[in-house]
Chains A and B, each alone.
Chain A
């Protein structure tokens, strides 16, 4: 693949520019460091997407922080970090939870499924396939959460109605507001799209 130099397309503004500077604040280094209590840690065992992890976590870490920053599973997103948007939705022992509103220590001895665990042996989950075909993601930032809420629904209700899908997923905000497409995708994955009352554009 060829590399295109940006220089060929951007007019340089030439020399003579002075770099902006940042200097440490003066005269304020003398004060002693405030005493900082050690951060409490706990050793936990958690199964994530079928893999067992033994890990020492800080008690203040949220589950999504553990997944994203310490286990490298960045598919779950942080949209609000306070249990409003659902972008961080994962399955905890099969139930959908906002992983921003769960502490990592609470996952001790439990099993977590994230979006990275949906595809099996290279085969996409039918939900993922339907999300592609029915154009579920626009910007895609809420998509992992939408998928996990949908997965939780189909796990206990294989053939939901449109209304049931909307209720199950209403905790997952999509600001692109592609709600029609997400519902359509879930119904398609469940094989109930044609049976549902709604229209398809």
Chain B
């Protein structure tokens, strides 16, 4: 791969100084004059009809300036549910945590006091938490028309993908394996809880909010409030993570806007950590039934999956169970049922469809390899995808190198052994898994201007969710313009100052917005060549509105293989990850420093998902039991092993300088790699996530 001047060189974040001095301004740090504070009252019941809401005592409390309930606010949150009308305040309430009222007051203590004075008369209704139970006859109907969420054609059918005929595939098999797996609800748990500030100046609305996409937040706020887009401004200076749950617009932004409208003052609406856990969304819990046919030589003949995803009472996202496309196989059938339940809403969390699907799939593939007395690495090298869905060639594919070079760095042959081998109180084992992720290309815009001092101002509608997107854009601009990084100034996070950018979801910012930056830079270079550098107060400006597509007969994917070694204490069931290697093909790596950090983070999150993270529900009351960092057992410093990162830089003809997607692939195979390492250590399979000590002891008993 050819060497470039800026892209490909480890560069610290251009905003790192602000981040380490406390000077980075997050939404919660902003105070506007006369600003009010708002709190949200939520249902304690998983399913209930509201007979009445009495706000009179709260309204009479000195300092209370506005109260919203369904009675005086009928705003529909369009992005909160793609199938049903979801109001800001719904009746019936359909999960413990559903919003009932919002209060704005002179300070947050008064707002909290007022909230406690609101009296709600609930008629509790039956509820259901498990997606399979919710589909049984007689289950309580959570949304009109039944609990199976309709597909895109508005049919009450599961989401189905099919190629070949699995019946033929199973007939052609020497052996058929079947097993089932479950995964649990996991909260995104980004460090920054939801907070928005809304301010009206006449009929113009400004919203400060930690969003993953100022552009989509902007158009959706205008849509839901029924005002013209040019009257809405979205500002996000720094934001404290989201992992998928701060994309699009959200109910808290709409509530802040409506409270500000009613009170005539700017309103800051803050969620508590518990609210952020139970009332926003997390990864959908799943039940997966896999059936796989294979010949004795290890060739796959059929893969069948029937899966159920618990979406909570609203359909915000796909509910998919992904991963099968990493295998070459002539006969595939995947049916996934996205089901309404009375749990917290489920939607996007880092690679939404994948880590749970790959956990089930790669667990069974591992069992098959062992049953055929094949090395799991060789089994994957034999059956890994060569063309997308066995049909479409990839623009570039480094999966085999990820497997081979990852295995070499991990010393796979040395660490891997027969399952359960060895004696003593601590068992050691090695496991691996692989994955892929769509490396999207598409619409974004960029504006670059240059002044007479030779400073280049890059305007991009990114917010930088922690991925170093601003730095990535600066590196791409510096590379294309042929100037040092210090000459680049990035203007971001404000819809009045930045053009459209794709939301920072789907790991698309580098490929979409980066491409627009390249094109704008090319245009600016042409202008400079024609007119010379601007003099005095002049500037030159270049714009690009790009929407590239890969060729119709090619698929663009990133690839990944992870390898884990664990120690399992037989007496306690405690698991410790002692070695971890991640090998990634994301095409050209724009910034090896920050990209490596992303891999370390994604893999570590996956280890948490594998071993202990879960939002637990009480089956008797339907209420979440352990909202919060300690309760839901999010990874800590002491849990985190060293993640060793290896780059397989394939040459890809598309994307800015050949960059492919990165953020989400980092978590895809990590859960399965740990699961397979545990199996290798103890010779027993744990089929339910998280693989907690009690579950380990359960299979050992």
Contact = CB atoms under 8 A, between A and B. Distances in A.
B593 interface: yes
Interface string B482-518: 0000000101000111111000000000000000000
Could you say which of B25, B243, B497 has the most chain A C-beta atoms within 10 Å of its C-beta?
Answer: B497
A131 B16 contact: yes
B31 interface: yes
Interface string B534-555: 0000010100010000000000
A81 interface: yes
A10 B229 contact: yes
Contact of A17 (B75, B189, B228): B228
Given A33-B60, A36-B62, A77 B227 contact: no
B191 A175 contact: yes
Contacts of A51: none
A181 B17 contact: no
B56 A6 contact: no
A179 B602 CA distance: 11
A180 B643 contact: yes
Interface residues of A, number: 92
Interface stretch (A23-31, A40-48, A104-112): A23-31
Contact of B597 (A1, A85, A181): A181
Given A25-B72, A179-B640, A201-B596, A81 B191 contact: no
A31 B57 contact: yes
A10 B445 CA distance: 11
Contact of A141 (B66, B75, B241, B261): B241
B22 A173 contact: no
A176 B608 CA distance: 12
A158 interface: no
Given A79-B192, A141-B192, A25 B69 contact: yes
B73 to A, nearest CB: 6
Interface stretch (B307-315, B559-567, B629-637): B629-637
B597 A138 contact: yes
A2 B240 contact: no
Could you say which of B21, B192, B467, B468 has the most chain A C-beta atoms within 10 Å of its C-beta?
Answer: B21
Nearest to A79: B191
Contacts of A17: 226-228
Contact of B604 (A21, A177, A198): A177
Interface stretch (B217-225, B284-292, B681-689): B217-225
B642 interface: yes
A13 B229 contact: yes
Contacts of B635: 173, 177, 179
Could you say which of B23, B24, B465, B628 has the most chain A C-beta atoms within 10 Å of its C-beta?
Answer: B24
Nearest to A10: B229
Contacts of B20: 115, 124, 128, 131-132, 136-137, 143, 147
Interface in B620-661: 628-630, 634-638, 640, 642-645
Contacts of A13: 222-223, 228-229
Could you say which of A7, A85, A142 has the most chain B C-beta atoms within 10 Å of its C-beta?
Answer: A85
A166 B638 contact: yes
A1 B240 CA distance: 27
Contacts of B241: 138-139, 141, 175-176
Interface string B560-599: 0000000000000000000000000000000001101110
A172 B637 contact: yes
A141 to B, nearest CB: 3
Contacts of B642: 180, 198-199
Contact of B498 (A2, A6, A80): A6
Contacts of B55: 25, 28
B371 to A, nearest CB: 34
A20 B258 contact: yes
A170 B56 CA distance: 46
Contacts of A137: 13, 16, 19-20
Contact of A77 (B191, B225, B258): B191
A135 B598 CA distance: 10
Contacts of B604: 177, 179-180
Interface string B139-174: 000000000000000000000000000000000000
Contact of B500 (A9, A124, A136): A9
A101 interface: no
Could you say which of B54, B238, B466 has the most chain A C-beta atoms within 10 Å of its C-beta?
Answer: B466
Contacts of B67: 25
Nearest to B541: A2
B25 A74 contact: yes
B601 A60 contact: no
B605 interface: yes
Given A2-B539, A9-B445, A85 B273 contact: yes
Nearest to B261: A22
A136 B261 CA distance: 40
Interface of B: prevailing SS: mixed
B422 to A, nearest CB: 24
A12 B541 CA distance: 23
Could you say which of A24, A77, A87, A199 has the most chain B C-beta atoms within 10 Å of its C-beta?
Answer: A77
Contacts of B636: 170-171, 173, 179
A178 B593 CA distance: 12
Interface string A111-148: 00011101100001000100111011111111110010
A164 to B, nearest CB: 11
A163 to B, nearest CB: 9
B68 interface: yes
A93 interface: no
B541 to A, nearest CB: 7
A118 B240 CA distance: 21
Contacts of B596: 135, 201
A80 B273 contact: yes
A13 B226 CA distance: 10
B205 to A, nearest CB: 10
Could you say which of B117, B223, B228 has the most chain A C-beta atoms within 10 Å of its C-beta?
Answer: B228
A17 B600 CA distance: 47
Given A12-B228, A68-B29, A198-B642, A140 B12 contact: no
Interface string B237-251: 011110100000000
Contacts of A36: 61-62
A93 B628 CA distance: 29
Contacts of A21: 261
Contacts of B228: 12-15, 17
Contacts of A156: none
A176 B601 contact: yes
A199 B71 contact: no
A8 B61 CA distance: 46
B373 interface: no
A103 B640 CA distance: 32
Given A25-B72, A141-B26, A167-B638, A12 B230 contact: yes
Interface string A73-113: 11111111110110100000000000000000000000000
Interface string B199-222: 000010000000000010011001
Contacts of B500: 9-10
A4 B629 contact: no
A25 B31 contact: no
B464 to A, nearest CB: 8
A49 B63 CA distance: 33
A170 to B, nearest CB: 4
B109 interface: yes
B240 A201 contact: no
Which are the 10 A-B pairs with shortest beta-carbon distances? A75-B22, A141-B240, A139-B466, A177-B604, A74-B29, A179-B640, A138-B466, A140-B19, A139-B241, A115-B22
Given A135-B12, A176-B241, 19 more contacts: A2-B449, A10-B229, A13-B228, A20-B224, A21-B261, A28-B55, A34-B57, A74-B29, A78-B193, A137-B19, A138-B241, A138-B597, A138-B601, A139-B466, A142-B191, A177-B604, A180-B600, A180-B640, A201-B644
10 contacts: A19-B203, A19-B225, A29-B56, A74-B25, A84-B273, A138-B594, A140-B19, A174-B601, A175-B605, A180-B640
